[in-house]
Structure 1
Amino acid sequence: MTRPPALPPLLHGLFRELVAQGVPIGTRDYLDGLRALAAGYGSSSDGQGERQALARLAQTLWARSDEERRLIARWFAHIPATPADLLAAVDTALAHLDGTQADTPDTAATAAPSSPASTASTAAARSGDTPDSPATAAATDDDPAVPRARISFSSVQEGTGLPVPRLALDPALGEAYVLHPQALIPPRNLAVLWRRYRRGTRGGPRTELDIDATVAERCRRGLLLRPACRPRRSNAARLLILADTSPSMDPWRPFLASLAESLPFGRLARAETGYFSNLPRRQLYTRPDLRDPQPLGDVLRRFNGAGLLIVSDAGSARGYLNRRRANQTADLLDELLTHCPAIVWLNPMPRPRWAGTTAEHIAANARVPMLPLDATHLLRAIDILRGNK
């Protein structure tokens, strides 16, 4: 059985290091390296020239930016230049590393003089030949005739059975790759949207100057004893959000957290978030992990006449149709409409995914519009809560 073609250990280790550092290379780039080596690229007459030819080949095939070219150059710079006989000795040691890694140094030292075959294998390994027997062939560090290189070998075995070299010093790109989840709607934009939901009323002490009343008083009496004042206008809008935290809503957990954190910045008279799983039954929860329950009736009495937003996939994430759930949701919406005249359902799944699911039956209720969850439709939902149908 013939072995599949593989890159030399030096280029194989470089390929593994580039992948570990986040360089976007894959199987096609690996095969390009094999084809280039088979075509004669990356070879030279002397050892140092061969290293430079391999470095140029790797930069040509696998580097797409200056940072990646510098990373490849640092790889070859940190691995010291070695003559051809040292490379042959390293290849021989790699061939027998699988059989010797399990043995301790004491066991290898004891077993070497007891077996003639082992002694012959060791001598063959020092001369650069590959022995037939997989006995312990790693030479001890005490022998000055054995060349050594400052290369650490990973413990992961590839399909060829050979470990690949890795630098003891991790070469890093000049810019770290930090992955952050992209917010569906940024918290700042959410706060701006909440401030759009306003129901202005006047109440409290008369501290604001009423210019029209002051001018009318002056015209009527011809004398102004004191200016006319009126109470300040304030936002009396109240908002209740019911958020689904069932397993199908796990991808939108960060958005639900941003939703709750942005409410205090909306300058609403009162805002609250209640959590449920699949369907709000007789109780809601004040925490997304469904702790601290409170009766649904008490929450609805506190927010009687307020706007209501429901955030749930309504079964469209899994693509299920549950008629019982659809009927129970319809009964619940009828009860909610007696307390909250304006209700909007926000579904994070795209509208085409609603077809054939429970969400399609819920969306058929004309009194409770169901909208996709994005910035545009959330703005539309706020306008519906304000009374702009």
Structure 2
Amino acid sequence: MNDAGELPPLLLGLFRELRANGVAVGVRDYLDGLRALRLGHGAGSRQALRELALALWARSEAERRLIARWFDAIPEVPPTLLERVEGVVSTLEESVHAGTSGERSRRTTIPPAVPPPTASSPGKTGGAAGEARARISFAARHEGEGLPLPRLPLAPQIAEHYVLQPQAAISARNLAVLWRRFRRSTRSGAGAGQRSEIDLPATIRERCRRGLLARPVCRPPRSNCARLLVLADASTSMDPWRPFLATLAASLPLGRLASAELRYFANLPRRKLFADVELTQAEPLDDLLRENAGAALLIVSDAGSARGYLNHRRARQTIDFLAAAARRFAAIVWLNPMPAARWRATTAERIADAPAADGRPRLPMLPLDAASLLRAVDILRGQR
């Protein structure tokens, strides 16, 4: 510890590294370190400094590992080298304070005292030849900061452990906002109790015709009659996107649609669909398509692109299903969670490039991201 009441370079560098990595150490922790050093703790060895840092600044196992890696990454300096470094630093301090050195170089190299042994003299293994050598880099000096601390050219690896948690590609709130964008407004309800919105033009016309009105003319309010059927692939190749499928199921009731149903299939829609992601509650495909005739259809599947396969039979059966569904649904969109670059030479590319029958536009297959979801909703609304 120097006269200014500053931590020794090793602990000061560790303190700055902890701050840079988001560890909650502050002024109080810094002062605790100074007090502990004044009381004699951490003196005498590098291990004592390590134990002091762990006792003062480690509050979790991850922080203990970070502090341990810091001490392991910085090599111990031999006494002979330490004396030479202190001599260079003292010389630099004198030149800076005396003002005789002009602009100091940003990098100072300590030359080795004895050249290293060469291949022609393998037998010369004296103590001088085996001396440790180091290159110390100094940053630029700023007013009031004194000499900067030497730092290693490469930062130690201190963030190797990760905690992986499943995370949906799009949040449920953002999906709910997208579903509310999917609107087809109509006025329905002929009964007097359902007419709750004032029809201003009709009221004015009636006032002009009769001259006196007992009550204004009312009409039914607008309501969203948009209907949506979502078919999601629950096969093993879609396991990485299970969190998204769960978020999708949770967001549909928040979309304020007239009806929104979610059914699952494995690889491609066959004779039966399923009401649960475990594929145990089967329903006939024809009945479900007939009940949702006129609605919009959204399909979520990798279409074989996750494994990079081209299955001609699967592609042909999927194209046949889409041709049959096009006669029942107002609009169809396919969401593929794999990037578009991974569709090449797979079943997904064959399905996306298949021409549609009856002069209909080709099936839009879009990747799974926020911009593509917005475009998918616009297509389902009828805006291509």
TM-superposed deviation, 1:72: 5.0
Q: Which residue, 378, 381, 384 being the options, matches 1:386?
A: 381
Confirm or deny: 8 A CA contact 1:59 1:69 kept in the other structure. Answer: no
In 2, distance between residues paired with 1:217 and 1:336? 47
The reply to whether residue 376 of structure 1 matches residue 371 of structure 2 is yes
> Match of 1:319, as an amino acid?
G
| 2:177 equivalent in structure 1 | 192
**Seq. identity, %:** 60
| 2:292 equivalent in structure 1 | 303
Partner secondary structure for residue 318 of structure 1: coil
Partner secondary structure for residue 382 of structure 1: helix
> Match of 1:191, as an amino acid?
A
Q: Which residue, 54, 57, 78 being the options, matches 2:47?
A: 54
Q: Which residue, 336, 342, 355 being the options, matches 1:353?
A: 342
Closer, same or farther: CA 212–289 of 1 in aligned 2, 3 Å: same
| 2:122 equivalent in structure 1 | none
Show structure 1 runs of 4+ deviating over 4 A: 47-50, 57-60, 65-73
Closer, same or farther: CA 387–53 of 1 in aligned 2, 3 Å: same
TM-superposed deviation, 1:180: 3.6
Partner secondary structure for residue 331 of structure 1: helix
| TM-score of the superposed pair, with normalisation by structure 1 | 0.57
Partner secondary structure for residue 340 of structure 1: coil
Closer, same or farther: CA 67–381 of 1 in aligned 2, 3 Å: same
TM-superposed deviation, 1:59: 8.8
| Aligned-residue RMSD, C-alpha | 3.1
| 1:232 equivalent in structure 2 | 221
How many residue pairs get aligned? The number is 241
Confirm or deny: 8 A CA contact 2:42 2:51 kept in the other structure. Answer: no
Confirm or deny: 8 A CA contact 2:170 2:370 kept in the other structure. Answer: yes
TM-superposed deviation, 1:226: 2.0
Confirm or deny: 8 A CA contact 1:235 1:267 kept in the other structure. Answer: yes
Q: Which residue, 244, 248, 262 being the options, matches 1:255?
A: 244
Confirm or deny: 8 A CA contact 1:59 1:72 kept in the other structure. Answer: no
In 1, distance between residues paired with 2:366 and 2:241? 16
Partner secondary structure for residue 239 of structure 1: strand
In 2, distance between residues paired with 1:189 and 1:72? 39
Unpaired segments ≥5 residues, structure 2: 1-20, 23-40, 69-161, 355-360
Q: Which residue, 217, 238, 251 being the options, matches 2:206?
A: 217
Unpaired segments ≥5 residues, structure 1: 1-22, 25-46, 77-176
> Match of 1:189, as an amino acid?
N
In 2, distance between residues paired with 1:331 and 1:69? 57
Alpha-carbon displacement from aligned partner over 1:294-322 (angstroms, at most 9, x marks no partner) = 10111111110000000000000000001
Q: Which residue, 289, 300, 306 being the options, matches 1:317?
A: 306
TM-superposed deviation, 1:255: 0.6
TM-superposed deviation, 1:67: 5.9
In 2, distance between residues paired with 1:70 and 1:328? 52
Counting helix residues as a fraction of each chain, which structure ranks higher? 1
| TM-score of the superposed pair, with normalisation by structure 2 | 0.58
- 1:65-76 counterparts in 2 under 5 A? 72=64
TM-superposed deviation, 1:68: 7.7
- 1:242-281 counterparts in 2 under 5 A? 242-281=231-270
In 2, distance between residues paired with 1:224 and 1:48? 94
In 1, distance between residues paired with 2:241 and 2:178? 19
| 2:196 equivalent in structure 1 | 207
